[in-house]
Amino acid sequence: MAVYYEGKIKKALCGALLLLSLMALSSSPPAGGGAAPPSAQVSPSTACNDTTDPTFCRTVLPPRGSSDLYTYGRFSVARSLESARRFAALVDRYLARHRGLSPGAVGALRDCQLMSELNIDFLASAGDALRSTDTLLDPQADDVHTLLSAILTNQQTCLDGLQAASSAWSERDGGLAEPIANGTKLYSLSLSLFTRAWVPTAKGSKHGGGGNKKPHHGHGHGKKPPAAATANRRGLFDVTDDEMARRMAIEGPERTVAVNGVVTVDQGGAGNYTTIGDAVAAAPNNLDGSTGHYVIYVLAGVYDENVVVPKHKKYIMMVGDGISHTVITGNRSVVDGWTTFNSATFAVVGQGFVAMNMTFRNTAGPWKHQAVALRSGADLSAFYGCSFEAYQDTLYTHSLRQFYRGCDVYGTVDYVFGNAAVVFQGCAFLSRLPMPGQSNTVTAQGRSDPNQNTGTSIQGCSLLAAPELAAAASAGGYRTLTYLGRPWKNYSRTVVMESFVGDLVDPAGWMPWAGDFALDTLFYAEYNNSGPGADTSRRVTWPGFHVLGTGADAGNFTVTSMVLGDNWLPQTGVPFTSGFITSN
């Protein structure tokens, strides 16, 4: 397994000393890419030319002298870390004097507080990696690319929450807008310089591709996965007694998975814990995955609780008794005063999280608007044989790298949304009956920067009508318009490939967000789909929409390329296909 970002956060050097030390670093051999190799000495102005905001870049980099792109990139990341620490302190001060603010505004600030803490962690880890070498190879290069992409996502999440609560803010609280904007520019600059220096053929390229890696098949999973999860899939962890629960290895579908402890949750009191939250709280902190996952086996039952797996609870594997048997449910919503981010019934941040054979549900209903069933901002997280059930904003694939296999996702408006690098394989997307006048949109991908390595890949899945929507249609009710997605942010990126598209999907395929917003900067694509809704002859004619004619471009959105799954998915026990599902 590759060594992923870990370790203590190192203190940033003071401004002047930092600049002197970075500028004094010797150049390394050329790494290729661009008009000049990243190790070539160039002026700050030249280094800024191909960044996302050259004018802002020139205000950040030192105005005199010359250096290489590696040194400029390190300098920008260090500046970003300083900025993140200042912003975190500012948010703390606002929270300390939050009297008079609405609960929604305070909730948004608390979301910003978490995002700021994560950004400090991520920038420190990225800085450590970049100081070690001028040559980063996958998976380390992808690790850093993922971290820098997530920092921008975190910043955008903070801003979105504050804007949603803006009506509750007084004039004195407007002081966060400028720091957020400046921080976003600085983080974007760091990402831009990183992709130029360390990832010349970056997956986050403006045209929406995924680099020049050749996709391949692997792990013996050549068969097409099932279109939907079964109602009760226990294969990976089928315990029947205490002796089995305490064994130190779990026999997976394809391999044996290492386990570092097993506990059980049983509402009847026969297990180690009666609530999932208590089991998570008692789990060991900061496991690195080298000794296996810490398993929480949740017996059948309906668990009415909101659960958070925080950042220091890493490499937890949560296994239930099957969809509709082990159910975690809640009813938080934006209408009831929660932020979208914190409306989740189940939220996970800790790296390496795996969930199997469970249902995650939010029962707030369509009239409560945004109401999340599960939010994942956990890097290297995987979900197998799970069901996610809500209406608007069901599944929040917030950030970092994620994988879903054999899962069911139920919803109406934007019901898979976020800005992770995420692949769905063999899943069923089941559009429900929305409120009168609403259309269904399966995805609302939130990529906000052209250099982010994020996007949603739907591979070998089925896009179908949920029973209540199908019943309404057959009864002669009004036809609900259903679309594959709409662009939440400027560089929204979603690919549907090798999937069955039902007749519920409108011939246009994709829906605009507002007017012509993002229509020429998004990247939406379809490849080798089947079913009555797969005909692309009447699809939208936006500049950013593509029908991929060969497997080469589509290969950028496979497990191998999109999430580097060959490096980490084998240890989860979750089956996956590395490349294409069907022969090419």
**Which residues are identified as catalytic?**
414
Strands (E), 482-522: 482-485, 493-497, 500-501
Q: How many CB atoms lie within 10 A of CB 404?
A: 28
DSSP 52-81: S-HHHHHHHS-SSS-B-HHHHHHHHHHHHH
Q: Residue 230 has which token pair?
A: 């079964």
| Distance from C-alpha of 361 to C-alpha of 372, rounded to nearest angstrom | 8
Query: Which DSSP symbol is given to 8?
Result: P
Give φ, ψ of 2 to 5 degrees: -65, 155
Nearest CA to 314 among 291, 340, 343?
Answer: 291
Parallel/antiparallel/unpaired status of strands 307-309 and 301-304: unpaired
Q: What sign has the CA pseudo-torsion 144, 145, 147, 151?
A: positive
Query: Of 233, 237, 239, which Cα lies nearest the Cα of 271?
Result: 239
User: Are residues 579 and 217 in contact, defined by beta-carbon separation less than 8 angstroms?
Assistant: yes
User: DSSP states of 545-575 as a string?
Assistant: EEE--SHHHHGGGSHHHHS-GGGTGGGGT--
Angle at 253 between CA 251 and CA 259, to 5 degrees: 35
* Cβ neighbours of residue 93 closer than 8 Å, sequence gap 6 or more: none
- In angstroms, the CA 394 to CA 412 distance is 8
CB 328 within 8 A of CB 305: yes
489-500: burial string, b at 16+ Cβ within 10 Å, e else: bbbbbbbbbbbb
User: How far, in Å, CA of 149 to CA of 452, rounded?
Assistant: 5
Question: Could you tell me where the DSSP H helices lie in 101-228?
Answer: 103-132, 140-164, 177-197
Could you give phi then psi for residue 526, rounded to 5 degrees?
A: -130, 145
329-353 CB burial, b ≥16 within 10 A, e <16: bbbbbbeeebbbbbbbbbbbbbbbb
Asked if 219 and 558 touch (Cβ cutoff 8 Å), the reply is no
Instruction: Yes or no: say if 468 and 499 are a contact pair by the CB < 8 Å rule.
Output: no
Q: What is the DSSP string of 218-249?
A: -TT--SPPPSS--S---TT----SHHHHT-SE
Give the C-alpha separation, 111 to 341, whole Å.
7
Distant-in-sequence, close-in-space partners of 16: CB < 8 Å, separation ≥ 6: none
Tell me if residue 310 falls in helix, strand or coil: coil
